[in-house]
A = this chain, B = another copy of it.
Amino acid sequence: MADPQPLEPLVRMDIVKVTAEGPRMETDVVATEVPVTIMVDGLEIATLMGTPEHLDDLARGFLFTSGLMQRSGDFLGCEVDEAHWVVYARLGHKVEPSQLFRRTFTSGCGKGVMFSSPLELAGRSPLSAGFAIAGVRVQELANWFRRHSDLHHATGGVHTVALSVDGADPELIRDDVGRHNAADKVVGRALAMGVDLERTLLVTSGRISSEIVHKTRRAGIPVLVSLGAPTHQAVLLAHDLNLTLIGFARQNRFSIFAAPERIT
């Protein structure tokens, strides 16, 4: 690419717009997308195509939701090289190259990669069974979410993920060209802030694939809400993991695909 890479999440570009009146020159806004590399101890963990902001959150969240670290305290810190989009992260333990070898490319946007086996999940503490949320709050969250996903509206090219604590309007919201990146950025920031993830809902603009269910479960988040549709595999997995899965969330309705008992 000839241009120097921009670091703004949105860029103006010259386009030709064609309408019933014929073609005309215009400028339009598009989302930025760069390759972001996450390194641990000289080992290249993954290169993700993503939006070049909040890269520290992305690394922390990715390492957590992909199973390469088990708790917030395992993340000792990181340096972000913003000129080359490389995050050098320090963990409290070694990552074995063999952990990186078997990678499944998933249908989801964003990194689309899972490292650990489902067995690893079994070792995790169970999802909070006592946590519950009123159905009307789910509808209000969907409504809030639609009003606040600004970058999504501006470009049509990014996904938005937000985290609600106890059903309150989210204070944590992230956009990214990859919807898994947006989820990792939210989880990474929540970890850094010490949020009790067992009392939260993850709200996403994107479709729900099995990988986003995996990520949500690994983060210990009991309720996953999407404005879009889940896949069949995502529903089966949510059933197995006892994760509450809600799709097609709107101001006046939603559909519960798994674990409805958390919705009152």
Interface set of A (CB-CB < 8 Å, partner B)? 1-3, 6, 11, 13, 15-20, 23, 26, 28, 30-35, 46-50, 103-113, 135, 138-139, 155-157, 176-178, 181, 207, 209-211, 228-237, 240, 248, 252-257, 260, 263
Contact = CB atoms under 8 A, between A and B. Distances in A.
A109 B107 contact: yes
A209 B177 contact: yes
Nearest to A236: B1
A48 to B, nearest CB: 5
A35 B104 contact: yes
Given A107-B50, A112-B111, A157 B231 contact: yes
Copies in the assembly, this chain: 2
Contacts of A46: 105
Given A49-B104, A109-B109, A112-B106, A231 B18 contact: no
Given A1-B240, A107-B109, A6 B157 contact: no
Given A30-B232, A32-B232, A33-B209, 6 more contacts: A18-B256, A20-B252, A49-B108, A49-B209, A105-B113, A106-B112
Contacts of A28: 255, 257
Contacts of A181: 107
A229 B231 CA distance: 23
5 closest cross-chain pairs (CB), A and B: A112-B112, A157-B229, A156-B229, A49-B107, A33-B233
B135 A23 contact: yes
A263 B15 CA distance: 13
Q: Which one of A49, A107, A209, A237 has the greatest number of beta carbons of chain B within 10 Å?
A: A107
B178 A135 contact: no
A235 B13 contact: yes
Contacts of A34: 233
